Amino acid sequence: MADLTAKKRNEVSEDSHYGELPTTDEANSTAERGQKILQNMGIKLDGKIKFPDSKNNKADYIYIPATGNVSGIQEIKKDLFQNWFSSNPPLLVISVICGEEDHNMNDELKRELRNALYQLAENRGII
């Protein structure tokens, strides 16, 4: 999805819906289609979390800010899982809700979150 460091996304206006999805002709791959969906939802950050001692030591994450447009999530969930993730569907999807508006976490909190997510995935037999 993205390189190992998080990157800022362009802001999407609050009045926009999840946007028109690109047609097959407009999108060269399902990954591009998925990226378009995320961008239109107002995703600000995405990247990978590295987990120690696991077979697949990286997990993708996305961050949807409180101002993000999630009104269309039910409508596009089918598209995300059937088209974007069709070749490599996720084994576990976790939703984390917090009050941190700008996604600013100190290193200790990042480690705690990463360790908690790792432990959850390990307990579920994912890794």
Domain spans, the chain: 30-123
Question: In whole angstroms, what is the distance from residue 92 CA to residue 26 CA?
Answer: 30
% of residues, the chain, pLDDT over 70? 18
pLDDT digits (tens, 9 = 90+) for 14-30: 333 444 544 545 445 65
Position 110 scores a pLDDT of 77
CA 73 vs. chain centroid, Å, equals 12
Which long-range CB contacts under 8 A does 110-116 form with residues at least 24 apart? 114/49, 114/50, 114/51
